[in-house]
Structure formats: C-alpha cells, structure tokens
Amino acid sequence: MILASVIVVLAFLALFFILHVVKGHHATGRDLDQLASRLQAVDVNAFRNLIDEREEEYLREHLPQREFRGIQRERKLAAIEYIRCASANAAILIRLAEAAREDPDPAVAQAAEKLFDNALRVRLYSFRVVPRLYAGLLFPGASLVPSDLADAYDTITRQVVMLGLQYPTRGMSASL
C-alpha cells in the first residue's frame, strides 16, 4: 500500500506540473521589449580567462596549494555565474529567434534559424557545464569545462548583431 500511495502522490504531482507548464505556456510574456530588458551583460573574454587551462596551470605553479584552491573555488563560482547569465540570455534569444523565424523575408528567417540553433546549443552546454563546475569545486585540480561554451556564446552574439540588421531585436546585442 505504501508503494501505491507513493505512486498516487507522484501521479498527482506530475499532473500539477503538466498543468503548471501549460498555464505558463499561455501566460509567458511575449513582449520583445520586455524580454530585451531582461538580458544581462556577459563578458566572454573574462569567462574564457576563468576557464583557461593555461591560466589555471600558471596559478597552480605560482601559488601555494591552499591559496590556489581558494582562488580556483572563486574562479569556478564566477564561471558558474557567467554561464547562468549566458544561459538566461540564450533563453531570451530562443524566443527572439522564434519570432523572427515567422518573418516573410527568407534572409531574416534563415538568420533566425541559425540563432535559434546556437542559442539552443548554449542552453544545452550550460546544463552540461554547470554540474561539472560544481563537481570542480569538490575536485579543484580537475579540468572540467569545455571551451566550446564560450565559442558558442560568441557565435550567438554575432548572430544577434546580424539578425538585428534585418529584424527588430531591441538593442539586444548591446546587452550581450
């Protein structure tokens, strides 16, 4: 009976989740101006520096072990914050690209298609990388972050600029 009760509770939780997501789907703000205002600035170069293995190696060689660990911890926490910002921006850009894809101009639709894919890629990377960075806090010596996240984010920033020339993106690239 305990297992049956657990399943009943889980089933109702799943139902509430489904209802909540569908309700959110109808209620989500689709105002592009409002979306643009939620973008946060991300310094890709600073992020690259934080996940640079050579930089890490340099610090390891020149700092006492204890100090190195403390600094690495700070660097990883900062990197997590950067990734969170990039991921949140990517989520907004997915919406922007969805809107632009409906544009009758094929050039705009094509640019939006590319932006959509890359924003999706950044989002997927971030889900993969953040747990690895947290794992890196436990094992400071291990190198756990792929540099392709910064490359992908760089790509979408450029694509937003390209798209902005053809479609109203409300000053988004300035925030990226």
Distances (CA, A) of 167 to 59, 90, 108, 150, 161: 45, 17, 7, 25, 10
Chain positions contacting another protein, by CB under 8 A: 1, 3-5, 7-8, 10-12, 14-15, 17-19, 21-22, 24-26, 28, 30-34, 91-92, 94-95, 98-99, 102, 116-117, 120-121, 123-124, 127, 157-158, 161-162, 164-165, 167-171, 173-174
Nearer to another protein, 14 or 107 (CB): 14
- Minimum distance from residue 27 beta carbon to another protein (Å): 10
Nearest approach, Cβ of residue 32 and another protein (Å): 4
Q: Taking the CB of residue 141, how many other CB atoms lie within 10 A of it?
A: 11
Give the residue with the Cβ less far from another protein, 40 or 59. Answer: 40
The b/e string for 88-127 (b: 16+ C-beta within 10 A; e otherwise) is bbbbbbbbbbebbbebeeeebbebbeebbebbbbbbebbe
Contact 56, 69 (CB under 8 A): no
How far apart are CB 48 and another protein at their closest, in Å? 13
Residue 13 or 135: the one with the smaller Cβ distance to another protein is 13
Nearest residue to 159 (alpha-carbon basis) of 114, 109, 128, 121? 114
Which residue's CB is nearer to another protein, number 93 or number 133?
93
